Structure 1
Amino acid sequence: MSDQHEKFEQFKALHMGEGSFVMPNPWDAGSARLLQSIGFQALATTSAGYAFASGKRDSEAGLSRREVLDNAAEIVLATPLPVSADLEDGFGAAPEDCNETIRQAIGVGLVGGSIEDATGKASDPLFSLDLATDRVRAAAEACRGQPFLLTARAEGFLWGRHDLDDVIRRLQAFSEAGADVLYAPGLPDLASIETLCREVDKPVNVVMGLKEPFFAVSELAAVGVRRVSVGGSFARAAFGAVRRAALEVFEQGTFGYAHDAMPGAEIAALMSDTHKTERT
């Protein structure tokens, strides 16, 4: 069995049974190695975190498919853990675009990834249910017989469409179209999350750390959530720490922030010790 197939089997097994597991979101190889060292069992990329680190906004067409997959490939190579990817809208509106994105994602060693139903356009934020379902179906076709777990996302609550019934209808359709995991970011409360988990037939992912309210993993597990991710919130936490340190130096001329910094030796111990034979 190939390494990718082994990772896929590990990843799939995490979605079975009772309770919840946390799948945090590194934005580069270094943060992936750090999160692995904590003890997490799987990782997922974050388009927001990678965009911020690249000096870009996390928005429609802010990142290309190639950029996202190159970043994901670096994370895959940095850790033995299964890695899933934020594949945004599939990098195109057509079902064929989603199919090709999944094929390329499998090619860089990913064992999972998500396709969302958001268009990125404020005037028309969501794909129609029929087109959104066709997009998931095309993505699922690319997964058939491959070591890849497909997540389908219903983005309505992130775009001001606070209609739980519509989100559930969409996720039920996505499940029937072949999605393995279902994901509705931005649900407002535990009751909504519990209703969603009850009304769908696949494992549910929720994201914590984006905006309040925040629920403990134990609370989410109690209402049926199987997988918890953090989106770009770890990357934002890192930016927040850098800003606090920089403001201390700029405004006070002091360097107390260094007391909370991770020691360089500890960081170095987590990183690759390979050496370049050609450095030019």
Structure 2
Amino acid sequence: MSQAEKARNFAALHQKGDPLVLYNIWDAGSAKAVAAQGAPALATGSWSVAAAQGYGDAQEIPLEFLLQIVTRICATVEVPVSVDFEGGYAIDPGALGENARRLIQTGAIGINFEDRIVQGTGLHAVADQVARIAAIKSAATDEDMPFFVNARTDLFLGSDPATHKDHLNEALDRAAAYAEAGADGFFIPGLTDKDLIAQITAAVTLPVNVMMMPPLKQVAELAQLGAARISYGPGAYRKAMKDLQAAYDGIK
């Protein structure tokens, strides 16, 4: 398949109630291993990619290095590859569009793109994030690529679950604005309240991505809540490293 065909197929895999499951990978080796088990698509996790190279999260891994890693992943597997692009390594929409263009040229077919101010505090204002999403989509149009932008909101991740209900209306407002700007999906990492997840999937027009994290455990459960995409974030990398440590302990 061409890159554009992979992108279209990737988008088609997002089905409400029959979600695309992405067991996040971090390099060409992990990508090849998961693809060999029949995964129809792959996605990196920023924390895992950074940790695998000795960096912290939040865009500590240099952009040039990230692009090299993604290029190698895309050259190694035949399935679509989406990249956790965090905040896109830029604030200004013009610079952000150029970074997105370079990422597209690695062979990637989509991104996670968050509204958190990376290496800063708080979230981008809705109007600012809308302009940033539009810049990415414009760059994709220039590259003739149906690039999948999974618009992530950080309203829930790292915050007290007791406050999550208070963020519901803002989450819905952001989802609507991001959709209007051209986003293709809406990602709500950190939200584990089943009732709130169901309310969001019912109200949002975009396919909704839920992160699998405690107390969430079952794909079928999230499918019933209306998720169209389920991802595992850094969980896969952390488990792999624990298994590696245990294997070493077993030979001592």
**TM > 0.5 fold call:** yes
- 1:18 deviates by 4.8
Contact 2:17-2:225 within 8 A present in 1 as well = no
Over 3 Å counting, the alpha-carbon distance change for 1:114 and 1:128 in structure 2 is same
- Paired residue for 2:135? 138
Residues of 1 paired with 2:200 and 2:62: CA distance?
Answer: 32
- Paired residue for 1:158? 157
- Paired residue for 1:109? 107
Counterpart residue identity of residue 198, structure 1: A
In the alignment, does 2:8 pair up with 1:9? yes
Contact 1:181-1:205 within 8 A present in 2 as well = yes
RMSD: 1.8
In the alignment, does 2:30 pair up with 1:31? yes
Q: Secondary structure at the match of 1:157?
A: coil
Counterpart residue identity of residue 83, structure 1: V
Residues of 1 paired with 2:51 and 2:103: CA distance?
Answer: 21
- Paired residue for 2:123? 126
- Paired residue for 2:204? 200
- Paired residue for 2:187? 183
Q: Secondary structure at the match of 1:237?
A: helix
- 1:173 deviates by 0.8
Contact 2:198-2:226 within 8 A present in 1 as well = yes
Moved more, 72-81 or 13-22: 13-22
Q: Secondary structure at the match of 1:58?
A: coil
Counterpart residue identity of residue 94, structure 1: D
Residues of 2 paired with 1:159 and 1:171: CA distance?
Answer: 19
Q: Secondary structure at the match of 2:210?
A: strand
Q: Secondary structure at the match of 1:156?
A: coil
Q: Secondary structure at the match of 2:149?
A: strand
- 1:63 deviates by 1.5
- The 5 Å alignment of 1:1-280 reads 3-16=2-15, 18-59=17-58, 61-121=59-119, 124-144=121-141, 145-160=144-159, 162=164, 163-208=167-212, 211-249=213-251, 253=252
Counterpart residue identity of residue 80, structure 1: E
- Paired residue for 1:265? none
Residues of 2 paired with 1:52 and 1:170: CA distance?
Answer: 30
Residues of 2 paired with 1:18 and 1:217: CA distance?
Answer: 10
Cα-to-partner distance string for 1:118-168 (whole Å, 9 max, x where unaligned): 11346x221112211211121122223413111111011124273122122
RCO greater where, 1 or 2, for CA within 8 Å and sep 6 or more?
2
Contact 2:192-2:216 within 8 A present in 1 as well = no
What is the TM-score when the length of structure 1 is the normalising length?
Answer: 0.82
Q: Secondary structure at the match of 2:156?
A: helix
- 1:247 deviates by 4.1
Contact 1:98-1:115 within 8 A present in 2 as well = no
- 1:228 deviates by 0.9
Cα-to-partner distance string for 1:191-234 (whole Å, 9 max, x where unaligned): 111111111101111111xx411231111111111111111211
Contact 1:143-1:149 within 8 A present in 2 as well = no
Q: Secondary structure at the match of 2:117?
A: coil
Contact 2:85-2:113 within 8 A present in 1 as well = yes
Residues of 1 paired with 2:11 and 2:118: CA distance?
Answer: 30
Residues of 2 paired with 1:105 and 1:219: CA distance?
Answer: 34
Q: Which has the larger radius of gyration?
A: 1
Q: Secondary structure at the match of 1:158?
A: coil
Q: Secondary structure at the match of 1:92?
A: coil
Aligned residues: 245
Residues of 2 paired with 1:207 and 1:242: CA distance?
Answer: 24
- 1:88 deviates by 0.7
